[in-house]
């Protein structure tokens, strides 16, 4: 009976202590929201010292941003680490960013990836979407479209509009997932409905190379997907998209040989008339995405993929001249038995090869 009484007293003490801690934390939060950072610091610092993960995270943010205290990346790292080690997702993501950028610590992509992955594996949609973007762009990790698609799908199924838009781009490119304009349009449409502007543009690009029946199917799938709360939306409806594989079609999965790729480039280069002064851009690389019909003609307009790396008007003129060359030189002589390999192609055009 005495032991039972002690246990009850101990549990009451825990509840009382938790209530006090929560009240002090809320006081600090209210003070910070009013811009009274000195008061917030006074409330949170004792809690952080006692191991409160939320208070530790907030102290880290104050030291990282210099709000109410002198900016101090080392202290920010200290508090973020203590909070992250207790499983605080925001602290883990923030710690990853600091290691990625080298803020207060030597730049360390391995540790950045560790923290991002840890949060993503806990189901955090922001972390999943960010990891998908890193693998998509090849930032801090080797570019891996399959990994990108896996992380983006997890985030997209939680309603993450940026992930949905990027997943649409992967389906449009056939990168890491099967080439599928209908699913691309579907994901763009869903993300656009959530206000994502990139998705609006992506939907327009997809629609330009689709039939009216395909667009109707994509719109229907988008409505069904939203009713399912975005779960299981990249399923296997194939009637208007990718035919079922057969033994006869196995050759279509074989990659183009180096000689076949070189022959393709040579066909384009015959039509690529570089503008005057192009030597000034001899290190420029223009990446163009193309989709083809089986007869070697283009299916839709080719697109310049790496517009973000083109720095000035002159380089834009050079890039546009490469795109025009792709249009002018069709139809292309490519092995019809490998059509599934070259139906969607990304190709780098390097101006140095023209001198």
CATH code of the domain containing 224: 1.25.40.10
Q: What is the reported pLDDT for 310?
A: 73
User: 188, 213, 244 — which closes off a domain?
Assistant: 244
Half-sphere exposure of 260 (CA within 13 A, CB side): 15
136-177 confidence digits (pLDDT tens): 888 888 888 889 999 999 999 999 999 999 999 999 888 888
Residue 72 forms part of a structural domain: yes
Q: Which tops the pLDDT comparison, 124 or 28?
A: 124
Domain that holds residue 79: 13-122
Least confident of 19-23, 189-193, 276-280, 329-333: 19-23
Q: What is the reported pLDDT for 276?
A: 56
The whole-angstrom separation of Cα 145 and Cα 136 is: 6
Decide if pLDDT at 268 tops 90. Answer: no
Residue in the structure block whose two tokens are 């795109």: 323
Q: Are residues 19 and 91 in the same domain?
A: yes
Binning pLDDT at 50, 70 and 90, where does residue 192 land?
Answer: very high
Q: What is the reported pLDDT for 239?
A: 39
Q: Are residues 151 and 113 in the same domain?
A: no
Binning pLDDT at 50, 70 and 90, where does residue 30 land?
Answer: confident
Q: What is the reported pLDDT for 247?
A: 33
User: 190, 209, 244 — which closes off a domain?
Assistant: 244
Cβ neighbours of 309 (radius 10 Å):
12
Cβ–Cβ < 8 Å for 88, 96: no
Decide if pLDDT at 320 tops 80. Answer: yes
Binning pLDDT at 50, 70 and 90, where does residue 280 land?
Answer: low
Q: Are residues 200 and 143 in the same domain?
A: yes
CA distances from 257 to 6, 202, 319 (A): 78, 31, 26
Q: Are residues 112 and 67 in the same domain?
A: yes
Q: Are residues 308 and 267 in the same domain?
A: yes
Least confident of 101-115, 158-172, 283-297, 301-315: 301-315
Residue 283 forms part of a structural domain: yes
Residue 5 forms part of a structural domain: no
Q: What is the reported pLDDT for 11?
A: 32
Q: Are residues 85 and 60 in the same domain?
A: yes
Determine which helix (DSSP H) or strand (DSSP E) holds 290, and give its type and residue range. strand 285-291
42-83 confidence digits (pLDDT tens): 888 899 899 999 989 999 999 999 988 999 999 999 999 999
Residue 192 forms part of a structural domain: yes
> How many domains does one find in the chain?
3
Q: Are residues 112 and 142 in the same domain?
A: no
**268 strand-pairing partners:** none
Q: Are residues 238 and 160 in the same domain?
A: yes
Parallel, antiparallel or unpaired: strands 285-291 and 344-350: antiparallel
205-241 confidence digits (pLDDT tens): 888 888 899 999 999 999 999 999 999 998 644 433 3
Decide if pLDDT at 9 tops 50. Answer: no
Residue 302 is part of a domain; what is its CATH number? Answer: 3.30.1150.10
Q: Which tops the pLDDT comparison, 191 or 246?
A: 191
Q: What is the reported pLDDT for 168?
A: 94
Q: Are residues 31 and 71 in the same domain?
A: yes
Q: What is the reported pLDDT for 337?
A: 79
Decide if pLDDT at 131 tops 70. Answer: yes
The whole-angstrom separation of Cα 326 and Cα 269 is: 9
Residue 6 forms part of a structural domain: no
Average of per-residue pLDDT values in the chain: 80
Q: Where are the beta strands (DSSP E) in 84-210?
A: none
User: 244, 267, 298 — which closes off a domain?
Assistant: 244
Q: What is the reported pLDDT for 18?
A: 37
Q: What is the reported pLDDT for 118?
A: 92
């Amino acid at each position: 009976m005495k032991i039972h009484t002690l246990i009850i007293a101990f549990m009451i003490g825990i509840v009382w202590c938790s209530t006090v801690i929560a009240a002090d934390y809320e006081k600090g939060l209210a003070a910070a929201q009013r811009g009274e950072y000195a008061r917030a610091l006074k409330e949170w610092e004792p809690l952080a010292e006692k191991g409160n993960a939320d208070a530790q995270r907030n102290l880290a943010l104050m030291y990282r941003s210099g709000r109410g205290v002198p900016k101090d990346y080392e202290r920010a790292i200290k508090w973020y680490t203590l909070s992250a080690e207790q499983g605080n997702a925001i602290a883990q993501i923030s710690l990853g960013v600091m290691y990625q950028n080298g803020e207060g610590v030597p730049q360390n992509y391995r540790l950045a990836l560790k923290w991002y992955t840890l949060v993503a594996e806990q189901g955090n949609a922001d972390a999943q979407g960010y990891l998908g973007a890193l693998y998509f762009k090849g930032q801090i990790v080797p570019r891996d479209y399959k990994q990108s698609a896996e992380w983006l799908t997890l985030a997209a199924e939680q309603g993450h509009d940026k992930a949905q838009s990027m997943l649409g781009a992967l389906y449009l490119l056939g990168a890491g997932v099967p080439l599928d304009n209908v699913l691309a349009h579907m994901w763009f449409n869903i993300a656009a409905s959530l206000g994502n502007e990139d998705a609006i543009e992506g939907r327009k690009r997809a629609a330009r190379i689709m039939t009216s029946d395909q667009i109707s199917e994509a719109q229907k799938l988008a409505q069904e997907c939203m009713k399912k709360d975005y779960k299981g939306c990249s399923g296997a409806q194939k009637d208007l998209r990718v035919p079922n594989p057969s033994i006869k079609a196995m050759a279509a999965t074989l990659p183009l040989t180096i000689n076949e790729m070189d022959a393709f480039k040579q066909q384009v280069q015959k039509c690529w008339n570089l503008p005057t002064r192009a030597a000034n851009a001899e290190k420029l690389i223009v990446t163009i995405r193309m989709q083809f019909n089986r007869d070697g003609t283009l299916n839709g307009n080719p697109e310049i993929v790496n517009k973000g790396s083109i720095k000035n008007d002159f380089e834009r003129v050079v890039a546009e001249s490469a795109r025009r060359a792709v249009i002018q030189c069709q139809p292309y002589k490519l092995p019809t038995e490998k059509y599934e390999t070259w139906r969607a192609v990304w190709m780098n055009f390097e101006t140095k090869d023209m001198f």
